[in-house]
Structure 1
């Protein structure tokens, strides 16, 4: 296994970054694809490399400064050297960021990593952030600075294997049965995360996943127990078993659907509708009893099962790719300042045009309409309740020595989210019931360590991308969760010291 190496080069300054000569998205056009043909062809020909596009997004982060890279590194077009996100004095720091490619075992397997550390402080806790399907860590750019104001934390944001600016190895499924295919598709991502954790020598951490990242965070928690302090699921995909069923466990969802991801104007999504409290009403409030299905057209189902993704279309359309992408970015980012809108459009296009890899896992995990083939609601009660195996040696096989005693699970949804909050509410009930069952048979020591539970939070003036739609409120909720986790960490540390003192 190769060691992690800094890929960002030596010293430099922000003004040395090349200005992206990309086509500008008009502010006044209301067309579904607002970028013109000439502008699209111009961007296709002159667009900056994906690492530069990511660094241009990072440049919008205030206060944070890049750590000085290795003096042996040589600046290049892709890695031009150190960049300061801001020349202003950091009132919450000092804090530095670093961007690296972390090699994993096997061929063409590296994870793109962005980290922020508070200089001169001991790291008590670690936060790891996972993006959604086809996205990248750069979309969290409005969260990195505020949430690293909390003392004692180090932040890592990762591009999942085969997505973002991580490497794009060939995706293969060998299994023939449906369950085996799902196992392989999940393991493609979570095995890479576990290998990264071992390289970074992180024993326990808090894991935050958005959308598909949330689904995979649950899969990680179940496959690799004993390493999480808290699980934060931001608008996770794949929670309900039947999102259009109406029964005692799963009320009828709002009208917002998967199609809204591509068609809804974000300025409308970030307006308050007074819907936040109503979305937290108790499950089972609907009086309907007959499941209602919303059929999808046959062509959509065929494309989905054939692994034809939106990113395939971007690549196939060549010079028209930026125009196709502008149909999504012009709506998704139109609530942001102009320069940020343009930077995120350039970044999104730089990701979408890269060779297909991790995106091909989607039809194995989700059915058309983003409905999970292995729903989270059927597994959530086992999260934090898994046996913890010992580390195997050459002489002895792994044996079970302990069992997890739960950890907090936080579901977060946007007020205008097309992902139905009812899934989170039903999951909250199942987690609470699992805790009650565990306490009935727990030993005194297990009862003392019991820390399971779940809650649902709704962020106002936000949709599916709540971390970007209303970052101020999202960041405030997240900082409260991190502070709560650190208090628990320090408490456990004191208790461990007391036990050691008693034994000696």
Structure 2
């Protein structure tokens, strides 16, 4: 019998230019106005929505019967700014042996936040030798959102690289990089790779590049509507529209969330929707990096394959969904470059069935299996 809390309207994400304007205005916004107005009351407290979501996990805010525990931390990187982190400790965790554990670091993509890995946390915390760190990049999620002042590529990358480096150091994860496994999605993967290239080639033993963005330029022309290109160049994003919608912002987000989380039980669906609304409507900050790295139509301005990937000392696995709108050829070319220049087999490519760009949500079971396998053989 079908679970009554699960709907059959799940849709994978599509290329960001694939939704015509006429379809946008005909879209379904299922959240009621009353619910949207109620969510608006908490617009200045996205941590509430994050807490409500994480509280659905068996080990937050209190340990579960297996002894697993977790906490949300503000890791201050200077006097004003901080990185929001959700850290999960295994059963029988011994704080005095912190540096002897292996550390899985999860990094979200453009516009995202640590809560989008909600369906992965519980399943991948099976090994008592691992600690999981899921972070919001500076200017995203529930991390602080300083005014974005970067004016060129170097300043954009320093914005993210320097803050990540500070977090890594404050967590003492720079001391034994051979214990670090980094899993980064989309633009987060691009930032982790360039961080390694430019600042710290040995910051991890391995990076899993999950549907990475900006790896190579489009191999075939993609139609970009004029209105879309104009908005893109002016840094006007869907997040801008959510903020401008006031009390109707949550209802606007429901057009997206009702499809993206449709296969989940109702309580999880609702919590993820409110979490998404909470971070989408927060002050614009890190999101303004997009136009520096991608041209309208999500075409790479500074392709990762031209940035010196062979300088990375870590192993790499490039993961794509079978129906991904990211081009798997990027990972194949990147691996070829790395392996040829380093005379090794340290980089490889993997395709995951029944998934698109958001592999961790499109095929939760296979994504979790992938992580568990990587942790097991680490």
State if a TM-score over 0.5 links the two structures.
yes
Alignment partner of 1:294: what SS?
A: coil
Alignment of 1:143-158 (within 5 A): 143-158=120-135
- Is this contact kept in 2: 1:114–1:156, CA < 8 A? yes
Partner Cα distance (1:417, 1:331) in 2: 17
- Is this contact kept in 1: 2:326–2:357, CA < 8 A? yes
Give the deviation of 1:27 after TM superposition. 9.2
**Which residue, 317, 339, 344 being the options, matches 1:410?**
317
- Is this contact kept in 1: 2:193–2:309, CA < 8 A? no
- Is this contact kept in 2: 1:126–1:153, CA < 8 A? yes
**Which residue, 135, 147, 164 being the options, matches 1:193?**
164
Give the deviation of 1:235 after TM superposition. 0.7
**Which residue, 229, 242, 245 being the options, matches 2:205?**
229
2:13 aligned residue: none
Alignment of 1:278-317 (within 5 A): 292-317=220-245
**What's the TM-score once normalised by structure 1's chain length?**
0.65
- Is this contact kept in 1: 2:8–2:263, CA < 8 A? no
Partner Cα distance (2:288, 2:44) in 1: 25
2:190 aligned residue: 215
- Is this contact kept in 2: 1:130–1:160, CA < 8 A? yes
- Is this contact kept in 2: 1:130–1:157, CA < 8 A? yes
Pair 1:424–1:43, CA change in 2 (3 A) = same
Give the deviation of 1:462 after TM superposition. 1.6
Q: Deviations over 1:466-501 (max 9, x none)?
A: 11222221111112212222xxxxxxxxxxxxxxxx
Q: Deviations over 1:14-50 (max 9, x none)?
A: xxxxxxxxxxxx999x952222444433432366831
Q: Deviations over 1:343-375 (max 9, x none)?
A: 100100011111111111111111112222111
Alignment of 1:239-388 (within 5 A): 239-240=215-216, 242-243=217-218, 245=219, 292-379=220-307, 381-384=309-312
- Is this contact kept in 2: 1:112–1:166, CA < 8 A? yes
Q: Deviations over 1:270-322 (max 9, x none)?
A: xxxxxxxxxxxxxxxxxxxxxx3123122211111111121111111112211
Q: Does 1:96 align with 2:69?
A: yes
1:284 aligned residue: none
- Is this contact kept in 2: 1:414–1:461, CA < 8 A? yes
1:51 aligned residue: 47
RMSD over equivalenced CA pairs, Å: 2.4
Pair 1:39–1:190, CA change in 2 (3 A) = same
1:139 aligned residue: 116
Partner Cα distance (1:300, 1:216) in 2: 25
- Is this contact kept in 2: 1:60–1:141, CA < 8 A? no
- Is this contact kept in 1: 2:321–2:351, CA < 8 A? yes
Partner Cα distance (1:430, 1:27) in 2: 42
Alignment partner of 1:209: what SS?
A: strand
- Is this contact kept in 2: 1:186–1:365, CA < 8 A? no
Q: Deviations over 1:59-89 (max 9, x none)?
A: 2223xx34xxxxxxxxxxxxxxxx237x5x2
Alignment of 1:48-87 (within 5 A): 49-62=45-58, 65-66=59-60, 83-84=61-62, 87=64
1:432 aligned residue: 339
Q: Which has the larger radius of gyration?
A: 1
Partner Cα distance (1:239, 1:198) in 2: 27
1:282 aligned residue: none
Partner Cα distance (1:318, 1:326) in 2: 14
Give the deviation of 1:452 after TM superposition. 5.7
2:20 aligned residue: none
- Is this contact kept in 1: 2:229–2:297, CA < 8 A? no
Partner Cα distance (1:38, 1:59) in 2: 24
Alignment partner of 1:143: what SS?
A: helix
- Which runs of 5 or more structure 1 residues have no equivalent in the other structure? 1-25, 67-82, 175-180, 246-291, 385-405, 437-450, 486-504
Partner Cα distance (2:111, 2:183) in 1: 17
**What's the TM-score once normalised by structure 2's chain length?**
0.86
Q: Which moved more, 1:38-47 or 1:137-146?
A: 38-47
2:12 aligned residue: none
**Which residue, 78, 99, 115 being the options, matches 2:87?**
115
Partner Cα distance (2:44, 2:266) in 1: 19
